Chain A
Amino acid sequence: AQSVTQLGSHVSVSEGALVLLRCNYSSSVPPYLFWYVQYPNQGLQLLLKYTTGATLVKGINGFEAEFKKSETSFHLTKPSAHMSDAAEYFCAVSEYSSGSARQLTFGSGTQLTVLP
């Protein structure tokens, strides 16, 4: 079974500072990897995804992530944090089940706080 580990349940950065949220996965096959963001009492919104091809993936709101197979990592970064980035971020890996479903396995999340 695949799994996802997010290092750091809480991360605080100052506005304008670099954002780095860490994600490591385990998978016996090439994974599909995702980052989602969740605002309070809301569903999840996709930030970016890696499937195949270029290992540096750009997403919405200035976020990007790099797939590093040798490190089994998919860390999320943003050069300059904005107050509106404060939210919970989830890394996820997809796996197959019957019918070729692409169910997601999520990490436990990282709460990002942006300080003025």
Chain B
Amino acid sequence: DTGVSQDPRHKITKRGQNVTFRCDPISEHNRLYWYRQTLGQGPEFLTYFQNEAQLEKSRLLSDRFSAERPKGSFSTLEIQRTEQGDSAMYLCASSPPQTMNTEAFFGQGTRLTVV
């Protein structure tokens, strides 16, 4: 499978715990995006990487959220001290470097439930 891969697909955690999600983009895609989707809403942009550089992070929801892409390949999104309001689907997307109008390819998402 050469699509965007996300792991885990589902995560249930207790309030206050830390969670980390992984995203493997399509090979040779240098751009990687994280989005959050709550029930009944469209995805909401969180952050963006070009290679290993995090070029946009002002939309991260709070300082409990952080993302990395250390070698310009896979990325991780961490949420510290989870709250019930963090329950959502977290989507990763990637796009190739060439043209400005290339669409993003989405993974299947990680569904987080905070209890």
Contacts and interface: CB of A to CB of B under 8 A. Distances in A.
Contacts of B91: 43-44
A45 interface: yes
In this complex, the interface size class of chain B, counting residues with CB under 8 Å from chain A, is: 20 to 34
A98 B41 CA distance: 25
A103 B42 contact: no
Interface in A39-70: 41-46, 49, 51-52
A99 B42 contact: no
Interface in B28-69: 31, 33, 35, 40-45, 48, 50, 53, 55-56
A34 interface: yes
A102 B102 contact: yes
Main secondary structure on A side of the interface with B: strand
A101 B101 contact: no
B103 A109 contact: no
A109 B101 contact: no
Interface string A74-116: 0000000000000000101010011111111111110000000
Contact of A92 (B4, B42, B95): B42
Interface of B: 4, 31, 33, 35, 40-45, 48, 50, 53, 55-56, 91, 93, 95, 100-109, 111
Interface of A: 4, 9, 32, 34, 36, 41-46, 49, 51-52, 90, 92, 94, 97-109
The 8 closest A-B pairs by CB, nearest first: A106-B42, A99-B55, A43-B106, A51-B101, A44-B106, A97-B56, A43-B108, A101-B48
